[in-house]
Amino acid sequence: MEIKIGADELILWLRKNEKATELDNRTVGRKIADLVTDLGGRFAESNEPVIWALSYNDKLPRTSQQYIIDVDKLPDLFKRLVDW
């Protein structure tokens, strides 16, 4: 089974857990794209409004790339994000 997940959700998780703090959102987004595609995921719609659009924080993006990834790959995705 596949799931749609946005870079915004992953960036929010990283920021909440104080990961990749030295990287700007654009760099993190590129790294997320590489990671998701490396795990067999693919691009979905691009530039969708982020989940926190009404309470915009300047450390978070306003739009977000969306990805389609197999749910069984989510543990691997988050394990690799932890290493950032």
* pLDDT tens-digit series, residues 2-48: 999 999 899 889 988 999 989 988 899 999 999 999 999 999 977 78
Per-residue confidence (pLDDT) for residue 33, from 0 to 100: 96
Q: Is 0.85 surpassed by the pTM of this model?
A: no
Residue 55 or residue 24, greater confidence = 24
- Cα–Cα distances in angstroms (integers) from residue 63 to residues 1, 26, 38, in the given order: 26, 11, 22
Instruction: Please give the pLDDT value at position 4.
Output: 94
Position 56: which residue type? Answer: Y
pLDDT the model gives residue 67 = 96
pLDDT of residue 69: 98
